[in-house]
Structure 1
Amino acid sequence: MVKFVESDTTGLPLKRKQVAHACEKCRRRKKRCIHSGPRLHGDPSSTGSPTKSSGTERSQPSPSSRSDRTRVSTPRVSTPNPTTEEIHPVSPAAKNGEKNAATHPPPFYGDLNPEAILMEATSLCSRRDVSAPGGHGIWQAPIPPRANTQNSNIPSVQSSSRRAVQDMVRSYLWNHCLPCRAPASDYAVLKRIYFEKMNPIFPIFEDPAVSGMPDEPINILVQQVVSLAAAADPEALQHLRTSPNGPLMSRQEFCACLSNSVLTTLDAGLVTDRVWLVRLSAALSLYTQPTNAEEADIPALLNSRAVHHMHTLGLQMAVDDGHPKKDMIRTIFCCVWALDTITGAFYGRARLIHERDVGWNIEDCIRAQIPPFRLLLMVISLLNQVIGLYCPGTRPSHPVLIEFPIFEQMILDAEALRLTGSCLASLEIFYHSVAILSTQSPADVASSAWPQPAANSRRSLAADRITSIVGEEFVGQLSYMPLIPYGVSLSLSVSYRKMRHSKVPMFRNRGKQAFRKNTQLLKSMDDMFWKSKTMVAMAEQVLNEMDKAVASLAQENGLPDLSKKAEAVPQGERPEVQPEETRALEFAQSATEAGNEWMLFDAVPDLDVFGHFDPTFDLGAVDAALVGNFDFGTSTNWFDWHQQLG
């Protein structure tokens, strides 16, 4: 009679009493159990009840197994927000067999995968997803790895060399990146700004997430992102420091330091929990600002990372009502879904999340959110309809006007009556931005300068409301998220087209006044948002060229003496003798501000000022950039236009 005695990972034999038993379910089915690994010399962490050896002695673990157990049993720092393990709980057997079960989600096998059929039939630990009737596949608990001496020399994707490089980077992160954060007193103000004005609209973080364990890497990263977002608020100007006794920094320097620190830390792999990778990547994508053309794609790249980790976790698939973290999972999914649409509009990118791949009911998800976020998601739904007009292959050849609900009715539907005026105004700017985009007939962009009759009133009213809210009603009180400069830029483009193509002098002058005002609003935000900076660079050059052309044409048409207009300037503010060009520009500016530019256009009504621009000025590039605001496909060229125009 031959007996087969099981051996451990080192090849030493195990006694029969020490061999792990099958789990209860497999024993009942009389099946071979694969849910618990072999027992290691009395290791209490292995599956099965502890057994005594012969006599009164217990078998002791070897030094190698003792060190492994010590390393595995190191307690993880708990965070108030859930981790990957809490979203997808794994069985105790899987935890015993796989050390990193807490940081890796269970694999999902879709019904298109033939492996799913066998998994569901043979595994007791699998469960079918409940996102739709019948489901789309199964979740399989990780199978514990078995010792395989033949493949022990084959490096895995997470090879030792890669881990060694990451270990070398950690010292740099702890010495240079993680210390770059606002002191406690300054951070208290920045945190209050963020959670009062920004997080209610885009709740990617939960407030308790940044109140405990302040020295843990994840919490440090959250503090950095919160400070980065809050830095755009005017109230934060006196709190932009990165050390307790450090000097006050400019917005650009402060934000660049924080953005680089967070991005470097994420790239280094210091954060392994995918739930936090989703949160941090999504927040950084929304709030980081490029500083040059080479960084123009960073926000879109971070959005794609957030979507990638979300899909890996399966957050796009609905969970049952009994799941303890259903509300949190649904909110994170809504944040990433909204961010993906915003990225598509801001940067001319294809959307990565499609409703046909989502297991949630989108309308139910929106209704389950807090009122500010619910209102944002309702506007995002409108934006999704608008983007559909601009997708390649579906651009209509005839004018299309999307039916738009009244914003006041949307506030009532979102139960957002109790929101502050500044919060509602910030969301109203985004609503009017989408309204402007909805009036653009894609086939008309290059063929005609005239808007469609039904769209003209909506576009003009929306642009005027954006300018009024930002420049008059709520100056310095808004939630200064990237939605604000985006809306002002669209308003600038509307006024530019009116100024550029209108045949009536009164409308041309009105367009120029609105264009100048929107330029000033963007200039007040150019140290917060890169988009504002690029738009201001183009707009100011256009205004300067217009002033030169108007002054030259006024001189040619015998309008009031330019030298006498120049004498109106106080003597102490100008030199005794001014060049002719300087006096011409002063007259043009004063004439524009007083509305006297009509004198020129009344004398020559069909005069095209743009036709008298300096031939070296690339007017075609300006036209393409500013009109491109209406077309998602060319939005990414803002950085190229900025380089061309210096």
Structure 2
Amino acid sequence: MSPVPTKKGNARNDVAISARETTLSKPDPAQPVRSNETLIEIPIIIRPERQALARPASSLQKFPGQTAFQLRNRIGLWISSSDVDNAEGSRDGISNTINSFAGRESESVATVLQQRYASAIKACERLPSATLDQLLPIYFSRVNHILPLVDKDSMLHAQSDGTASVFLERAICLVAAKDPSATPHLRVTAEGSPMTPRQFCSDIYKGLVVAINEGLEPDRITRIRVLALLSLHCEGYEGAEAASMHLCHAIHQAQTAGLHLDRPDRVPGDSLSALFWCLWTLDKTHACIGGRPVLFADRDIGVEKPHVNPSSSRTAFDIWFAISDLLARVISFYRPGADHTVGWEADFPTFEEIIGDNIRDDLDYGTLGLLELFYHAVGILSCRYKLTDRPDGSKPSYIRQGLAAVRIHSIIATECPQTLPPLPIVPYALALSMGVSYQQFRSSKLITHFERAKASLEACCGLLEDLGVYWYSAEAMARLGRKALHQIEEAKPGPSRQGTGSRQPALSGQSPIIASTHPNNAVSDTPFVNRSDDQRPFSDVPSTVSSMETHPGLETIGPQPATGFQASGMDGFADIDMLFGEFLDLSLPTNFWDPVFGPPDQSGI
């Protein structure tokens, strides 16, 4: 009998395995968990994907009688249930901050509960004044004017009186800690040494999650603010899902409080209105960053949408809201049943049109840079096509996508390298730019275009590695980029080949087969990009089909039978094609379960 496939992420297929305090033996539900002298017969749930991720990537890519590409569905990784049943002592090597204290297979239930209790107690302690005095101003000067989740005047007044919510203070610091200027001040105790940004954020986040889930914050509006701030943090391979859950919880609480409904005493533009429309915009950004359906239905909202008079100047939030409204329409192109070849072709507004004629003083250089990043991320998503299809380079959305990728790189690399506000749209926009570079590499037909796309991919990868100090998602996507660059080097063509990006197997109707994973480490084998040359890969807009017609002397690589390099080298891009394709597709949930996103010793590269 053939094994029954178990889909990753399906809770109904979770495997209940009892755990001992020391080692994980063969699954035996009859064996209880011993904690000190107390006998506890509660099984610990071990998900199949945790077993899969603990194995080398090469073991996930070899299936008897079938290729891994055939077994990998559009969502998730399919593994044989027998692999789960036979797993012994597997350890999850990929960090998962969300459940790092609750998901270790060898720990007892009592230990887990004790650690949760300790985290909650720690979260109730106020951070050192040296930390708060530095991080709170960073948040209010660089984040809150763009996304006014917190009433600044009320918060500062409460803090001066010593009555501010300790959980809200910590949530604010969680966001501000990702700003480079905050790094020297990241201490959780007065006598402690400064922590790295991600260490500090993980420590703060872990305690906040337990405290909020246990209802330790009594004020509902404050809980909504804390949950919304928590949704701006992502750590670990399930971090995107956890961030979406925090926002979902915040929206639920907001609807319970009636923030979406009009009231006779409601003042337009007050802090509660600002909070609600912040949640509305975050609903749209999480829909693209996390690949989730939107939660708000506009027909259920009873308060009037923010409207700006064309003659008046716009605030940073006005522009953020306008771009989010633009994103709401782009999301419609990714809904189930939508044609995946249709994007936004006509009447896409320019960034200057969104900004308006009058610019307010709070729109400093870094703020404008972040808002333009957001705009260009939406521009990239407005073009939709699959890697298996030959792109129509004459479409306005395709040209817009290439231009947007250029601008994103320029803003992060040269224009605002240290002044962008610490919001998750920054690493997401750069990852989108890298995805466009990879698409251009795979569709290149000229060696000049191929080399340009490869250099662009490497430049984005280097910048993502820099952002990885603050953002897990940037680190994970940089690993995917290094994997792609490593595969390019492995499949390097001979001198006679004009271009190497064509997808000959797909064009000729053949099913791509994932090649064996190379044992070398892509991060160490592939050199870092020279930051002084960051502009060079993006000096030209990606060429279109029309440019081919103006240069008939340049030979192209058409769909030919796969031989030599084509048969052995390009087939190895099948898994990378799928991962980049899923990332650029808003209809699919974002996660970092694939071993490629793990540390070098786990990713198989």
Deviation at 1:530, TM superposition (A): 1.9
Q: Aligned in 2, Cα 1:174/1:517: closer, same or farther, shift over 3 Å?
A: closer
Match of 1:189 in 2: 134
Q: Aligned in 2, Cα 1:525/1:419: closer, same or farther, shift over 3 Å?
A: same
Deviation at 1:514, TM superposition (A): 0.8
Q: Aligned in 2, Cα 1:617/1:284: closer, same or farther, shift over 3 Å?
A: farther
Match of 2:244 in 1: 300
- Are 2:337 and 1:393 aligned? yes
Structure 1: which amino acid aligns with 2:420?
L
Structure 2: which amino acid aligns with 1:298?
A
User: In 2, are the aligned partners of 1:319 and 1:326 still within 8 Å (CA)?
Assistant: no
Q: Aligned in 2, Cα 1:233/1:587: closer, same or farther, shift over 3 Å?
A: closer
Q: Aligned in 2, Cα 1:185/1:246: closer, same or farther, shift over 3 Å?
A: same
Deviation at 1:506, TM superposition (A): 0.8
Structure 1: stretches of 5+ with no match in the other structure: 1-166, 558-580, 596-601
- Structural mapping, 1:394-543, within 5 Å: 394-395=338-339, 398=342, 400-412=344-356, 415-416=359-360, 419-441=363-385, 444=386, 446-451=388-393, 453-543=395-485
Q: Aligned in 2, Cα 1:492/1:294: closer, same or farther, shift over 3 Å?
A: closer
Secondary structure at the counterpart of residue 639 of structure 1: coil
- Structural mapping, 1:556-571, within 5 Å: none
Q: Aligned in 2, Cα 1:616/1:518: closer, same or farther, shift over 3 Å?
A: closer
Match of 2:580 in 1: 626
In the superposition, the TM-score normalised over structure 1's length comes to 0.61
User: In 2, are the aligned partners of 1:489 and 1:522 still within 8 Å (CA)?
Assistant: yes
Match of 2:169 in 1: 223
Distance (whole Å) between structure 1 residues aligned to residue 527 and residue 374 of structure 2: 38
Q: Aligned in 2, Cα 1:502/1:279: closer, same or farther, shift over 3 Å?
A: same
Deviation at 1:549, TM superposition (A): 3.1
Secondary structure at the counterpart of residue 519 of structure 1: helix
Name the Cα RMSD after superposition. Answer: 3.8
Distance (whole Å) between structure 2 residues aligned to residue 327 and residue 522 of structure 1: 37
Paired residue for 2:183, among 237, 244, 249? 237
Paired residue for 2:593, among 636, 639, 644? 639
Distance (whole Å) between structure 1 residues aligned to residue 487 and residue 284 of structure 2: 37
Structure 2: which amino acid aligns with 1:429?
L
- Structural mapping, 1:13-24, within 5 Å: none
Q: Aligned in 2, Cα 1:487/1:437: closer, same or farther, shift over 3 Å?
A: same
Deviation at 1:385, TM superposition (A): 0.5
User: Over residues 211-265 of structure 1, what are the superposed CA-to-partner deviations in whole Å (9 max), with x where a residue is unaligned?
Assistant: 5357978621121111111111111111111111101111121110011111111
User: In 2, are the aligned partners of 1:374 and 1:414 still within 8 Å (CA)?
Assistant: no
Structure 1: which amino acid aligns with 2:422?
Y
Distance (whole Å) between structure 2 residues aligned to residue 610 and residue 380 of structure 1: 47
In the superposition, the TM-score normalised over structure 2's length comes to 0.65
User: Over residues 518-539 of structure 1, what are the superposed CA-to-partner deviations in whole Å (9 max), with x where a residue is unaligned?
Assistant: 0011000112112111111111
User: Over residues 458-488 of structure 1, what are the superposed CA-to-partner deviations in whole Å (9 max), with x where a residue is unaligned?
Assistant: 1111110000010011111111210111110
Distance (whole Å) between structure 2 residues aligned to residue 609 and residue 200 of structure 1: 57
Deviation at 1:432, TM superposition (A): 0.5
Match of 2:279 in 1: 336
Distance (whole Å) between structure 2 residues aligned to residue 518 and residue 395 of structure 1: 30
Structure 2: which amino acid aligns with 1:250?
T
Distance (whole Å) between structure 2 residues aligned to residue 346 and residue 499 of structure 1: 23
Q: Which has the larger radius of gyration?
A: 1
Distance (whole Å) between structure 1 residues aligned to residue 201 and residue 528 of structure 2: 38
Q: Aligned in 2, Cα 1:402/1:351: closer, same or farther, shift over 3 Å?
A: farther
Match of 2:192 in 1: 246
User: Over residues 88-128 of structure 1, what are the superposed CA-to-partner deviations in whole Å (9 max), with x where a residue is unaligned?
Assistant: xxxxxxxxxxxxxxxxxxxxxxxxxxxxxxxxxxxxxxxxx
User: After the TM superposition, which of the residue ranges 615-624 and 311-320 deviates more from structure 2?
Assistant: 615-624
User: In 1, are the aligned partners of 2:223 and 2:250 still within 8 Å (CA)?
Assistant: yes
Q: Aligned in 2, Cα 1:470/1:628: closer, same or farther, shift over 3 Å?
A: same
Structure 2: stretches of 5+ with no match in the other structure: 1-112, 498-520, 537-552
Distance (whole Å) between structure 1 residues aligned to residue 438 and residue 374 of structure 2: 20
Q: Aligned in 2, Cα 1:369/1:624: closer, same or farther, shift over 3 Å?
A: farther
Distance (whole Å) between structure 2 residues aligned to residue 588 and residue 315 of structure 1: 48
Q: Aligned in 2, Cα 1:332/1:587: closer, same or farther, shift over 3 Å?
A: closer
Structure 2: which amino acid aligns with 1:405?
P
Distance (whole Å) between structure 2 residues aligned to residue 353 and residue 463 of structure 1: 29
Structure 2: which amino acid aligns with 1:634?
L
Distance (whole Å) between structure 2 residues aligned to residue 217 and residue 230 of structure 1: 21
- Are 2:122 and 1:176 aligned? yes
Secondary structure at the counterpart of residue 499 of structure 1: helix
Distance (whole Å) between structure 2 residues aligned to residue 174 and residue 548 of structure 1: 49
- Are 2:202 and 1:261 aligned? no
Structure 1: which amino acid aligns with 2:227?
S
Deviation at 1:612, TM superposition (A): 5.8
User: In 1, are the aligned partners of 2:139 and 2:176 still within 8 Å (CA)?
Assistant: yes
- Are 2:553 and 1:553 aligned? no
Q: Aligned in 2, Cα 1:232/1:612: closer, same or farther, shift over 3 Å?
A: farther
Deviation at 1:586, TM superposition (A): 9.1
Secondary structure at the counterpart of residue 188 of structure 1: helix
User: In 2, are the aligned partners of 1:522 and 1:535 still within 8 Å (CA)?
Assistant: yes
User: In 2, are the aligned partners of 1:548 and 1:588 still within 8 Å (CA)?
Assistant: no
Structure 2: which amino acid aligns with 1:189?
Q
Paired residue for 2:303, among 335, 360, 375? 360
Structure 2: which amino acid aligns with 1:491?
S
User: In 2, are the aligned partners of 1:210 and 1:219 still within 8 Å (CA)?
Assistant: no
**Identity of counterpart residues, as a percentage?**
26
Q: Aligned in 2, Cα 1:431/1:417: closer, same or farther, shift over 3 Å?
A: farther
Q: Aligned in 2, Cα 1:540/1:587: closer, same or farther, shift over 3 Å?
A: closer
User: Over residues 247-297 of structure 1, what are the superposed CA-to-partner deviations in whole Å (9 max), with x where a residue is unaligned?
Assistant: 1111121110011111111011111322111111111112x2222x24441
Match of 2:73 in 1: none
Q: Aligned in 2, Cα 1:289/1:217: closer, same or farther, shift over 3 Å?
A: farther
- Are 2:217 and 1:271 aligned? yes
User: In 2, are the aligned partners of 1:318 and 1:359 still within 8 Å (CA)?
Assistant: yes
User: Over residues 22-53 of structure 1, what are the superposed CA-to-partner deviations in whole Å (9 max), with x where a residue is unaligned?
Assistant: xxxxxxxxxxxxxxxxxxxxxxxxxxxxxxxx
Q: Aligned in 2, Cα 1:616/1:606: closer, same or farther, shift over 3 Å?
A: closer
Query: Which is bigger in relative contact order (C-alpha 8 A, separation at least 6)?
Result: 2
Match of 1:313 in 2: 257
User: In 2, are the aligned partners of 1:499 and 1:507 still within 8 Å (CA)?
Assistant: yes
Match of 2:143 in 1: 198
Structure 1: which amino acid aligns with 2:209?
L
Secondary structure at the counterpart of residue 458 of structure 1: helix
- Structural mapping, 1:598-609, within 5 Å: 606=557
Structure with the higher fraction of residues in helix conformation:
1
Structure 2: which amino acid aligns with 1:233?
D
